[in-house]
Structure 1
Amino acid sequence: MTIAPDRLDGARGQAAWTDTRLLYALEEVVENELNRHLKVAKEWMPHEYVPWSDGRNFDGVLDGEPWAPDQSKVTSIGRTALVVNLLTEDNLPSYHHEIASLFGRDGAWGTWVHRWTAEEGRHGIVMRDYLLTSRAVDPVELERFRMAHMSAGFESDNAHSMLHSVAYVAFQELATRISHRNTGRHSGDPVCDQMLARIATDENLHMVFYRNLLGAAFELAPDRTMCAVRDVVTGFRMPGHGMPGFERAAVQMALGGIYNLRIHHDEVLQPVLRYLKVLERGGLGPEGLAAQDELGAYLEGLDGQARRFDERQAAILARRAARG
């Protein structure tokens, strides 16, 4: 990806690249990536992925039928993951506020922020409609979790700078895509699988946008970008980490093959890092080289942790199978 020479301003000095200058220098890239995104993104309608004919009234003011677990077509692990995924999408107002504050609401940056928000909004709409219409989850518990999660708000771990946010979403969008895709595959319901596959396609396009933007940032400010990637990778947490019962749900999702250390290392971190050639990049100063070394050492340690998780997972699943 090439940055226009006039935007480079003839400097690679790391101290010179403030957030404001980077936002200006990268705007042309944002515009190009936005235009590319709009050409490849396909319009889709949330209502087409919801089995409306399965719907009926719940108990309450309309005196319908109370929810019970045996009404759900979705597996137990599928229900857990669907609730986590939807609650994550529910915090969209907080995510919009954060990226709009960092990226701005004007020009190509602002156009992208609003387009991204609109596309993410569809995900929450279709997931909630599916869950309630198909009676996949307890609607009372879901609403109470939503109120608690949104009332607590969301503040990113990576709000140090604009570069930290770009680096975080480059990985997080891919992580979300994989979580949705694996949830669909483990859901036990073909309708759910089809819906989440559609959502995952959007998330992949979002990842490509941010990944390419991160690559352009490496051309402009390689040391600052390397440090941001190091910080994000070594401190990465999914945006839903503050929701009620997240730790227990995360363990169940890890054992169930929805999202775990092995998936995180092999299918999220490595693809983005390899594509951008992060560990092979030259032209770094002392700070960037130190961050690159730290990143390499961290990934090696994470691979070891993932290997130990694989062994524990296999042992736990074997014990479960033995118990029938």
Structure 2
Amino acid sequence: MDIEAQILPVEELVGAVDGFLAASPAARAWDVETAFDWSRADADRLTEGQRSAVRFVTLIEDHLPGYFEVYHRYFPVDDTVDRATFVHNRELYHFTVRWAWEEDTHARALSRYQDASGIAERDRLRAELAVEGQKPFDLPYDHPVQFFAYALVQEKATQMYYQHLRDVVDEPVLAGLLTRMAKDEARHFSFMADVVGRYLRVSGDAAVEPIRDVIANFRMPLSDTMRGYWRWALRIADVASYDHTEAYEHLIKVLDRAVDARTDRHDELVRFVQECRTMA
């Protein structure tokens, strides 16, 4: 399927991007250098499991160059696409650069926390992050709605995990950091949900099967490349009640709100997502 032929009308994408940026003014952003008193970070107040969770999410967040490259590859802003597609992709780029900046802030803040709190020495941490950071990342989709449906689930699952972890830690600096990151992830989810909803309203049943395929084959980032990922993921799930399929409930809400006249294929998709959540 030709991705260029399946993109949203540009006015629909502009509505989603403008809405996100209006809700995310730069004046409300936070930065690593001034948002926290890093001298108060103290890993001695964390359990071993909580330390492990911080290390795990740092690796996930630090893979940002790979995630960003996926959007550049599938939504290029150069002469490899026609003019109309370029205009669409250039509008999306306004979102992706803001999203990437915020995600990179998460990666830097988590690394700073590890160093300041005593979890990891900075040079050793850089080397550890590079091991995973140099591995490739891809989302092998052939319909543009799939990139947004995937990110919808991933961003919501990440938000929920940060909230769960915050609720069990007794360390104010880390709790504050997790709160900030969860709020960012919630806004990223809202953008993805808006775009997925617009695809369903514009494309109707044509968007159903691609979304179903995302859920049928869903894997969180790095699950196929990080050594020992599943064992580590299960360990951190015990620390803070982690289950990415919790996010499926929010996808169902997006599906239910997206269309006024539901079709058989739409209803089948909702049932399928519900079954995936129940089985998990």
TM-score (norm 2): 0.83
Any residues of structure 2 matched to 1:271-310 within 5 Å, and which?
A: 271-277=250-256, 282=261, 284=263, 289=265, 292-293=267-268, 296-297=271-272, 299-300=274-275, 302-303=277-278, 305-306=279-280
**Following TM superposition, by how much is the alpha carbon of 1:154 offset from its aligned partner in structure 2, in angstroms?**
1.3
How far 1:30 sits from its partner (Å)? 2.3
Kindly name which structure, 1 or 2, has the bigger radius of gyration based on alpha carbons.
1
Evaluate the alpha carbon distance shift between residue 71 and residue 44 of structure 1 in structure 2; reply closer, same or farther with a 3 A threshold. closer
**Maintained 8 Å contact 1:72/1:137:** no
8 Å Cα contact 1:71/1:136 also seen in 2: yes
Query: What displacement does 1:244 show?
Result: 2.9
CA contact (8 A) 1:49 1:194 kept: no
Indicate if the aligned counterparts of 1:84 and 1:240 stay in contact, CA closer than 8 A: no
Instruction: Show structure 1 runs of 5+ residues with no match.
Output: 1-14, 56-69, 307-324
Percentage identity across paired residues of the two chains: 23
Pick from 242, 246, 252: which aligns with 1:259? Answer: 242
Alignment equivalent of 1:269, drawn from 230, 234, 248: 248
Alpha carbons 2:169, 2:175 under 8 Å: kept: yes
Q: Deviations over 1:114-152 (max 9, x none)?
A: 121112111111111111111134657644431221122
1:48 aligns with 34
Q: Which residue of 2 aligns with 1:102?
A: 74
- 1:76 and 2:48 aligned: yes
Report the equivalent of 1:128. 111
- How far is 1:21 from its partner? 3.5
Residue in structure 2 matched with residue 22 of structure 1 by the alignment: 6
Aligned-residue offset at 1:153: 2.0
Partner of 1:217: 199
Structure-1-length-normalised TM-score: 0.73
Given that 1:78 and 1:184 are in contact with CA atoms closer than 8 Å, whether structure 2 keeps it comes out as no
Report the AA paired with residue 271 of structure 1: H
RMSD, aligned CA: 2.7
Aligned to 1:89: 61
- Cα drift, residue 194 of structure 1: 0.8
| 1:88-110 Cα distance to aligned partner (Å, 9 max, x none) | 11111111110122223353112
8 Å CA contact 1:148–1:244 kept in 2: the answer is: no
- Residue 185 of structure 1 aligns with an amino acid whose one-letter code is D
The SS at the match of 2:137 is coil
Following TM superposition, by how much is the alpha carbon of 1:280 offset from its aligned partner in structure 2, in angstroms? Answer: 8.2
- 2:17 pairs with 1:31: no
CA 1:35–1:281 in structure 2 vs 1: closer, same or farther (change >3 Å)?
closer
The verdict on how the C-alpha distance between 1:178 and 1:141 changes in structure 2, with shifts beyond 3 A counting, is farther
- Secondary structure at the aligned position of 1:256 is classed as helix
Look up the match of 1:155: 138
Write the deviation string for residues 163-215 of structure 1: whole angstroms up to 9, x where unpaired: 21111011111111112222222333121011111011111111111101000
Q: 2:73 matched to 1:113?
A: no
1:183 maps to amino acid: L
- Pick from 189, 202, 205 the counterpart of residue 171 of structure 2: 189
For residues 157 and 73 of structure 2, what CA distance do their matches in structure 1 show? 23
CA distance, structure 2, for counterparts of residue 48 and residue 208 of structure 1:
27
Structure 1 residue ranges, 4+ long, deviating more than 6 angstroms after superposition: 278-281
In the comparison of the two structures, how many residue pairs are matched?
Answer: 265
Q: Distance in 1 between matches of 2:276 and 2:66?
A: 33
Alignment partner of 1:21: what SS? Answer: helix
